[in-house]
Amino acid sequence: MNALSRIVIIGSGAAGMSAASRAKRLKPSNDVIVIDSSRWVSFAFCGLPYLVGGEVKDLDELLYYPPSEFTKRGIDLRLNKTVIEVDPDSKKLIYVDNSTGTKESLEWDKLVLATGARSKAPKLWPEIRGARNVFYIVHMESGQQIRDYARSLGPGKRAVVIGAGYLGLEMADNLAKLGLKVTIIEALGQVAPRMLDPELAKIVEDNIRSKGVEVVTGAAVERFNIINNTATEVVTSKGTYQGDMFVVGVGIEPNNELAKQLGLKLGQSGGIIIDERTLTSNPDVYAAGDVTEHKDLVTGQLVWRPFAQIANKMGHVTGSNLGGVDSVFLGSVGTSAFKVFDVVAARTGLSASEASKVGFKPVEVSLEAGTKAHYIPGGSKISLKVVADEKTGRLLGAQAVGFDETAFWRINVVASLLTRGGTVWDLFNADYGYQPLLSPVWDPLVIAARLLMRTFGERPW
């Protein structure tokens, strides 16, 4: 080994490139090498639906920075190369060039696993492997392939989207924008099942249906029927649905092959368990992003949350620690959001039923209110639920569905309070601004607090 400290980062997505940039910038003597099996760096998977729908014109627009930017920063990028072996004892790895098949080995002082998540689709339904019209997100090209295929079909043909989570819904929205007829198939009994309570999900579903999209819930996909490498229909527990193309928007898992090779401690999801400095159970191996589990700040339990903003923060923390700045990622509270068709939905923390499951005694309030002053034309309604703990008055979570961006922002406000252990009285007292064009004088958040205080009383305990 040379005198430099060599940091090898596997994975060039949000977490990997955040870590790489920071480790190099804080300590230029670090030798930072990033290896990825794709040709892409610093890519935004979350933008793929908008590439499909055409709002984003070109795949390159989805890069936060082009590869050249990282090379300029002194980072050694080795793209289109797949790591096939890692050995924790010799601290050596072997990667293969995807084009030439050439193998190379590389030693590390510190390793960072930022290998992200992968689709379970080909494992769940092996028959789709050869099918040219069944898609799922593997790499950035997947977005382009979906778009190109959808355009080649043209308006009037039918796309079947498997899964009504946020990715499935966003894909459905964007496929509909291209003029395709769209069917959404969801195994559970409602859309956005991991995010929203049924009555809020209903608002989303009604809006989607009103756009002519067929929504089928309670339909578990059993198999795809494929003729001549072309899927013609999907067989579900509820019936068979025909389509001209199929997009699988469900079923991802931590991409943990290398973590297993390294013998790292994994959590229940298969994600790598890391400490607050993002260090794994191996003191020379960090991990960040979608391949890791982290702490939920409401329950204290480990969770797997493959979200880009969390991956970026984690990567930042990893890079800081590798650059000599003591840094911590404390956890998250489970904030997520989507915007599909006319609807904005967001949630943070726990639902009442989730709260019960982990031992809280939840008190829940529910309301519908205007998002702007009542006398301002163009305001809309927000449906809001807030959950608090009966024993302490601590806020546990909130969900909102509305027709403007304030549903997202009101949930961000609750998320901030959750991060800080806020209570129902904080929800009342928090000094939200008021301006008639922007909000009503009694903000829905304050109305929710007032409803909660019927149970908790109006003076903080």
Phi, psi (rounded to 5 degrees) for 164:
-110, 30
Query: Nearest to residue 363, comparing CAs of 335, 334, 333, 386?
Result: 386
- Alpha-carbon distance 316 to 380, whole Å? 38
> Which one among 25, 92, 209, 339 touches a second copy, defined by CB under 8 A?
339
Quick check: 428 binds a second copy (CB under 8 A)?
A: yes
Q: Which of 335, 351, 383, 399 binds a second copy (CB under 8 A)?
A: 335
Which residues, 367 to 396, sit near a second copy by CB under 8 A?
Answer: 373-377
Cα separation, 56 vs 44, in Å, equals 12
Structure tokens at 327: 């840094």
Whether 278 and 312 have beta carbons less than 8 Å apart is answered as: no
User: Degrees (nearest 5) of the Cα angle 76, 80, 85?
Assistant: 85
Interface with a second copy, residue 1, by CB under 8 A:
no
Q: Residue 281 CB, nearest distance to a second copy (Å)?
A: 21
Residues 173-192 that bind a second copy (CB under 8 A): none
Does 429 participate in binding a second copy (rule CB under 8 A)? yes
- Give the integer Cα–Cα distance in Å for 397 and 394: 9
Interface with a second copy, residue 325, by CB under 8 A: yes
Should residue 452 be labelled a site residue for a second copy when binding is judged by CB under 8 A? Answer: no
Nearest in space to 325 (alpha carbons), one of 280, 291, 293, 278: 278
Enumerate residues 222-261 that contact a second copy by CB under 8 A: none
Q: Could you say whether residue 455 binds a second copy (CB under 8 A)? A: no
**Among residues 160 and 447, whose Cβ is nearest to a second copy?**
447
Determine whether 139 is an active site residue. Answer: no
331 is a contact residue toward a second copy (CB under 8 A): yes
Which residue out of 26, 33, 46, 216 is catalytically annotated?
Answer: 46
Q: For residues 351 and 131, give the distance between their C-alpha atoms in angstroms, rounded to a whole number.
A: 39
Closest separation between CB of residue 176 and a second copy, Å? Answer: 15
Nearest distance, CB of residue 338 and a second copy, angstroms: 6
149-155 long-range Cβ contacts below 8 angstroms, 24+ apart: 149/245, 150/52, 150/175, 150/178, 150/180, 150/245, 151/178, 153/180, 153/244, 153/245, 154/179, 155/179, 155/180
As given in the structure block, the two tokens for residue 222 are 């059993």
Angle at 288 between CA 287 and CA 293, to 5 degrees: 90
Q: Does 312 bind a second copy (CB under 8 A)?
A: yes
Q: Of 24, 91, 110, 316, which lies in the binding site for a second copy, with binding defined by CB under 8 A?
A: 316
Rule CB under 8 A: is residue 446 a binding residue for a second copy?
yes
Site string for a second copy, 15-54 (x = CB under 8 A): -----------------------------x-xx--x----
Q: Site size for a second copy, by CB under 8 A?
A: 82
Is residue 461 involved in binding a second copy (CB under 8 A)?
no
- Our finding on whether 282 is near a second copy (CB under 8 A) is no
Buried residues in 247-260 as b, exposed as e (16+ CB within 10 A): bbbbbbbbbbebbe
Which residue in the set 417, 424, 448, 452 belongs to the binding site for a second copy (CB under 8 A)? Answer: 417
User: What is the x/- site pattern for a second copy, positions 61-90, by CB under 8 A?
Assistant: xx-x--------------------------
Nearer to a second copy, 65 or 107 (CB): 65
The footprint of a second copy on residues 107-166 (CB under 8 A) is 166
264 is a contact residue toward a second copy (CB under 8 A): no
Task: Give the SS3 label for residue 117.
Answer: strand
Q: Is 288 in the site for a second copy (CB under 8 A)?
A: no
Selected binder of a second copy within 23, 333, 369, 424 (CB under 8 A): 333
Q: Is the separation of the CB atoms in 274 and 15 below 8 Å?
A: no
Tokens of residue 28, six digits: 């230029």
309 binds a second copy per the rule CB under 8 A: yes
Beta strands in 88-212 (DSSP E): 92-97, 103-107, 110-113, 117-119, 134-136, 158-162, 181-185
Residue 217 binds to a second copy (criterion: CB under 8 A): no
Scanning residues 342 to 361, which ones bind a second copy (CB under 8 A)?
344, 346, 348
- The smaller minimum CB distance to a second copy, of residues 220 and 328, is found at 328
Q: Which is nearer to a second copy, 310 or 388 (CB)?
A: 310
CB of 15 to a second copy, least distance (A): 11
Q: Are 166 and 195 in contact (CB under 8 A)?
A: yes
Catalytic annotation, residues: 46
